[in-house]
Chain A
Amino acid sequence: MLPFSFEKVRTEQDAIRAAAAGARYIAGGTTLIDLMRDEVERPERLVDINALPMADIRADGADLVIGALARMSDVAAHRETKRLQPLIAESLIEGASPQLRNMASMGGNLLQRVRCPYFRMLDAACNKRDPGSGCSAIDGLNAGHAILGTSNHCVATHPSDVAVALVALGATMRVRGPQGERAFPVEELFRLPGDTPHLEHTLHPGELIVEIRVPGGPYARQARYLKVRDRASYEFALVSAAVALETEGDTIRQARVAVGGVGTRPWRMRAVEEALRGKPVGRDTFTAAAHLALEGTRPLSHNHYKVELLPRTIVRALEMAGGTA
């Protein structure tokens, strides 16, 4: 690991000042330390923000508000999370391992780097790590890579599970930085790779994620997360789906659908949602709607299976949420 200077801050102002001057925030460290050890990440200054009072988890009316420093395990186990947004709890539990969930913060989870093997292989070309060097995955081992939102420069998936649930539920995030505070949908945090895959998010320099707000909705209690992977637990998704349904009798009033493991960012499926609206709960409805998820997919040499797996995963998740699985 290369040398760095380390500073622990007690106030948000000190944190933002340090980051505006080029320091990297560190919270749980589960991504950053790992990548620093491999010298994929080479920060010269670290600013430890764990002492900041941003780990609160609370209800605000029907909304669930999660401090950016709250740990994944604490959010998943929290009474208000289970009461208001069980989908958030379920998606968190399906991610990483108990040890990592005890360490990883919610803000860090959203900002975690990709798990493409070439990204951390210093002798392989990777536009994310070394802009302009090329993408080793496009013609390489790409079974785990994306089929949506890819470019000729990067095909890595966003690895977070809870981000998929947050995007499905229309969560927003509040950030503070040198220019003040702003709030925006979590979905807008993530950039598509395009021809600048090294730029992964829309935070401005020095901005700090403060909290995440998950709005309540009539679909929140009828929501499930299904993660399909090579092992039963502690593995990244091949395909995952976060779905939420509001039903009246046998009729779907509205639906929320987002998917993971297939996109270069967590992928909201608005066409699928629209196709579910007003239809009867059941496999025929789910299958017809889920087929719309394939629009715009571009499979690579080794991940054609995701084209088949994606709609099937959505159908099964909808059946779980709709109580017909």
Chain B
Amino acid sequence: MTKTNHDAPSGNERSLSGHDAPQRGPSRRSILQMAGGAASLAAAPAAIAQPASSEGPPTAPTTRVRLVVNGSARDLKIDPRQSILDVLRETLDLTGTKKGCNQGACGACTVLVNGRRVTSCLTLAVMHDGAEITTIEGLARGDELHPLQAAFIEHDGFQCGFCTPGQIMSGVACIAEGHATSPEQIQFWMSGNICRCAAYPGIVAAVADAAGRT
């Protein structure tokens, strides 16, 4: 059976506008999206096709789900196979949440669902109808960074930055849970977030600093 990529049922037709640097020509992201769009256009017939076998399971091509993402209610048609992560990135174009391992081991995809930190790759969006989801895009208030975002900058809590959105979302929850009481506690309670650049000392310092300020 052809293995199709069901992760991207939409989001491939996005225009070049509305991204990080719209005034200065195509951004790296928009170029990547164009390339991805071309590739998945070619694959589109396979992705849309229903299972060929007549004894295949009944599948609805789309399921309706309402998610409240960063305070905005979004009524979505999704494939039941889509994780929250894929809905955020591919359907809602919120690419701040990162796809690292896609198996719950790295923590890069951490978001808050109803205030609790979860790995968004390991849960189906269809299971969360009505849920409130907070992503890295929802932390700042206008131009004012969340205290933990500011602390990550101040304490050099990253190098390449790929794990950072997950680290910060996990850190926000870690502080709210009351688990940021000492460097040792922070290390233990942040251990679901891997940083391959090993910026751990800065991450721990940032979480401790922000915890002390809130």
Contact = CB atoms under 8 A, between A and B. Distances in A.
A318 to B, nearest CB: 24
A48 B127 contact: yes
Give the residue among A8, A28, A30, A33 with the most B Cβ atoms within 10 A.
A33
Interface string A62-100: 000000000001000000000000000000000011111
User: A-B pairs with the 10 shortest C-beta distances?
Assistant: A97-B192, A44-B57, A3-B59, A233-B191, A234-B191, A6-B80, A102-B116, A1-B81, A99-B119, A99-B192
B57 A99 contact: no
B196 to A, nearest CB: 14
B113 to A, nearest CB: 8
23 contacts: A1-B6, A3-B51, A3-B81, A4-B80, A5-B58, A5-B59, A6-B80, A6-B124, A26-B124, A26-B127, A29-B127, A33-B124, A45-B57, A50-B127, A97-B193, A98-B170, A98-B173, A98-B191, A98-B192, A99-B117, A100-B192, A103-B119, A234-B191
A28 B119 CA distance: 11
B208 interface: no
Interface in B57-107: 57-60, 63, 80-81, 83, 102-104, 107
A34 interface: yes
Given A1-B6, A29-B123, A100 B104 contact: yes
Secondary structure dominating the interface of B = loop
Interface in B95-149: 102-104, 107, 110, 116-119, 122-124, 126-127, 129
Contacts of B179: 98
B162 interface: no
Interface in A2-36: 3-6, 8, 26, 28-30, 33-34
Interface string A29-69: 11001100100000011101010000000000000000000
A37 B57 contact: no
A51 to B, nearest CB: 10
A107 to B, nearest CB: 16
Interface in A233-262: 233-234
Contacts of B117: 98-99, 102
Contacts of B63: 6
A7 to B, nearest CB: 10
Contact of A29 (B107, B122, B173, B192): B122
B192 A234 contact: yes
B205 interface: no
Contacts of A37: 102-103
Interface of B: 6, 51, 56-60, 63, 80-81, 83, 102-104, 107, 110, 116-119, 122-124, 126-127, 129, 170, 173-174, 177, 179, 187-193
Contacts, number: 93
Contacts of B129: 8
Contacts of A33: 83, 122-124
A155 B67 CA distance: 43
B56 A3 contact: yes
A44 B81 CA distance: 12
Give the residue among A6, A8, A28, A97 with the most B Cβ atoms within 10 A.
A97
Contacts of B123: 28-30, 33, 103
Nearest to B194: A234
A131 to B, nearest CB: 21
Contacts of A4: 57, 59, 80-81
A5 B129 CA distance: 16
Contact of A5 (B57, B107, B192, B193): B57
A58 to B, nearest CB: 21
Contacts of B190: 98
A81 to B, nearest CB: 16
B133 to A, nearest CB: 14
Contacts of A99: 104, 107, 110, 117-119, 170, 192
Contact of B188 (A46, A48, A100, A233): A233
Contacts of B193: 97
B118 A102 contact: yes
Interface string A267-304: 00000000000000000000000000000000000000
B16 to A, nearest CB: 31
A231 B104 CA distance: 17
Contact of B103 (A6, A34, A44, A46): A34
Given A3-B57, A99-B118, 19 more contacts: A4-B57, A5-B60, A6-B126, A8-B129, A30-B123, A48-B127, A97-B119, A97-B192, A98-B189, A98-B192, A99-B104, A100-B104, A102-B118, A103-B119, A231-B191, A232-B187, A232-B191, A233-B191, A234-B191
